[in-house]
Amino acid sequence: MKVHNFSAGPSILPDSTVENTAAAIKNFAGTSLSLMEVSHRSKEFVAVMDEAIALFKELLDIPAGYSVIFVGGGASTQFCMVPYNLMAKKSAYLNTGTWANKAMKEAKLFGEVVEVASSKDTLYNYIPKGYEIPADADYFHITTNNTIYGTEIKHDMDVNVPLVADMSSDIFSRPVDVSKYALIYGGAQKNLAPAGVTFVIVKDELLGKVDRAIPTMLNYQTHIDGESMFNTPPVVPVFAALETLRWIKEQGGVAAMQKMNEEKAAVLYNEIDRNPMFKGTVINEEDRSLMNICFVMTDEYKELEKEFYEFATAKGMSGIKGHRSVGGFRASTYNALPKSSVQALVDCMKEFETMHVK
Ligand code: PLP
């Protein structure tokens, strides 16, 4: 049976990423050694790192004056690295969910944190708008895609202070105007690679402006100067990231990803809106995520939630259970998920409807 991987992360990667990484784990670049066994300073691996960084910059059209680095620690370490490096006194955060809260908690260790708006009261089912950002904030932090709640900021904001974005779950899903951001970061384990590598895009001129001493490993400048090799990088995830970046390029780049993601999301949201058994959890259409599509059963059919989960799982839908804080279902439709998988889920929903709706 074909299994359709709707997991929220770690999640589906292109077949070529999985196959070529598996092959390199056996025999890396003709060395007859495993990728796991070679020096990160070997010419073969340095070439991988160089191409990965170059392709990362090319695909997102990153302007001059920005550095791209690969580091460890996951996006969660960025929650403290951002304020450590960029926050002198005050920062502003948009509270759109669990990850934004975790980021804010760390920033509070470094100074004053202003929560400019929050959608907490309604379990984060919309993206707040119409707030003011204090002009003296050192930066404004957003989570562009809220993996748990299925909301997404799908445009690049114009704001009055440096803009920092956690793009863990929507990087490479659409073109981004990087010039509007001071810093973008994310864990790789959604649209890029297996867990273990974290990407950071940072505007160079914003670094070196805080007075505090920064531990070496938590200082962005260390990793910029060390070309992401200050310490031993996670070689397997970096290799896999390169394979995914090559795949994105072959597909036509981030504009092609966006088109496909919009098409896939439209197919599933249309079914959620049409089918009387289901309803979306996000209230405004414009806030609906193209990456994590959250839905529940309507009140009339609520008691069939477990049955639908089991029905869909038996038909090969993997990882569709909603996050425990939202319940219901979450279909993650990252770049590598084919349209046919979305169609298979829609077919399940239709079949379930014919079984239960008179
Ligand atoms: N930010 C977002 C938007 C996420 O979805 C996640 C993980 O799912 C994280 C941060 C945390 O990432 P990590 O596990 O790499 O620390």
Tens-binned pLDDT, residue by residue, of the chain (358 aa):
999 999 999 999 999 999 999 999 999 999 999 999 999 999 999 999 999 999 999 999 999 999 999 999 999 999 999 999 999 999 999 999 999 999 999 999 999 999 999 999 999 999 999 999 999 999 999 999 999 999 999 999 999 999 999 999 999 999 999 999 999 999 999 999 999 999 999 999 999 999 999 999 999 999 999 999 999 999 999 999 999 999 999 999 999 999 999 999 999 999 999 999 999 999 999 999 999 999 999 999 999 999 999 999 999 999 999 999 999 999 999 999 999 999 999 999 999 999 999 8
Q: What DSSP element (H or E) covers 118?
A: strand 112-118
Place of tokens 């105007």: 177
Helix, coil or strand: residue 201: strand
Indicate if ligand 1 lies below 6 Å from the C-beta of 169. yes
- Indicate which residue's Cα is closest to atom 6 of ligand 1: 168
Residues making up the binding site for pyridoxal 5'-phosphate: 75-76, 99, 147, 166, 189, 231-232
The closest-lying atom of ligand 1 relative to the alpha carbon of residue 76 is 16
Query: Which residue from 168, 291, 292 has its CB within 8 A of the most atoms of ligand 1, so it is best to mutate?
Result: 168
Q: What's the per-residue H, E or C state across 144-169?
A: CEECCCCEECCCCCCCCCCEEEECCC
Count how many Cα atoms sit within 13 Å of the Cα of residue 344 in the half-sphere of its side chain: 22
Atom of ligand 1 nearest to the CA of 147: 5
Q: Is the shortest distance between the CB of 75 and ligand 1 below 6 Å?
A: yes
CB 26 within 8 Å of CB 257:
no
Indicate the annotated binding residues.
Answer: 41, 75-76, 99, 147, 166, 189, 231-232
pTM of the model: 0.98
Q: Name residue 137's amino acid.
A: A
Which residue from 76, 185, 289 has its CB within 8 A of the most atoms of ligand 1, so it is best to mutate?
Answer: 76
Put residue 228 in one of left, alpha, beta given phi > 0 → left and psi -120 to 50 → alpha.
left
Give the residue from 292, 259, 239 showing the smallest Cα distance to 16.
239
Q: Which of 272, 9, 273, 289 is nearest to 125 (CA)?
A: 289
Q: What gap in Å lies between CA 188 and CA 198, rounded to an integer?
A: 6
| Chain centroid offset of residue 99 CA | 11
Residues of the chain above pLDDT 70, percent: 100
Q: Is residue 168 in contact with ligand 1, taking CB distance under 6 Å?
A: yes
Please determine whether the domains at 15-251 and 253-356 fall in the same fold group of CATH: no
Catalytic residue among 190, 203, 264, 287: 190
User: Ligand 1, from 96, 99, 148, 151: best to mutate by most atoms within 8 Å of Cβ?
Assistant: 99
Q: Assess whether the C-beta atom of 9 lies below 6 angstroms from ligand 1.
A: yes
Q: Where are the alpha helices (DSSP H) in 27-156?
A: 43-59, 74-86, 98-107
pLDDT in tens, 19-34: 999 999 999 999 999 9
Place of tokens 């960025």: 78
Let me know if domain 253-356 sits in CATH 3.30.540.10.
Answer: no
Mark whether 166 is an active-site residue. yes
CB-side exposure of 284: number of CA atoms within 13 Å?
13
Q: Quick check: 261 and 337 in contact, CB under 8 A?
A: no
Token couple for 95: 């509270």
Find all residues with CB under 8 Å of 43, minimum gap 6, and list them.
Answer: none
Provide long-range contacts, Cβ within 8 A and 24+ apart, for 175-178. Answer: 175/60, 175/61, 175/254, 175/255, 175/258, 176/60, 176/254, 178/60, 178/61, 178/62, 178/63, 178/66
Provide the residue ranges of all domains of the chain, joining segments of one domain with +.
15-251, 253-356
Fold classification of 15-251 is: Aspartate Aminotransferase; domain 2 (3.40.640)
DSSP string, 340-353: HHHHHHHHHHHHHH
CA of 96 to the centre of ligand 1 (A): 13
* 279 catalytic residue (yes or no): no
Indicate if ligand 1 lies below 6 Å from the C-beta of 147. yes
Residue 67 beta carbon below 6 angstroms from any ligand 1 atom: no
Residue 233 Cα, ligand 1 centroid: separation in angstroms?
Answer: 19
Rounded Cα gap, residues 66 and 75, in angstroms: 19
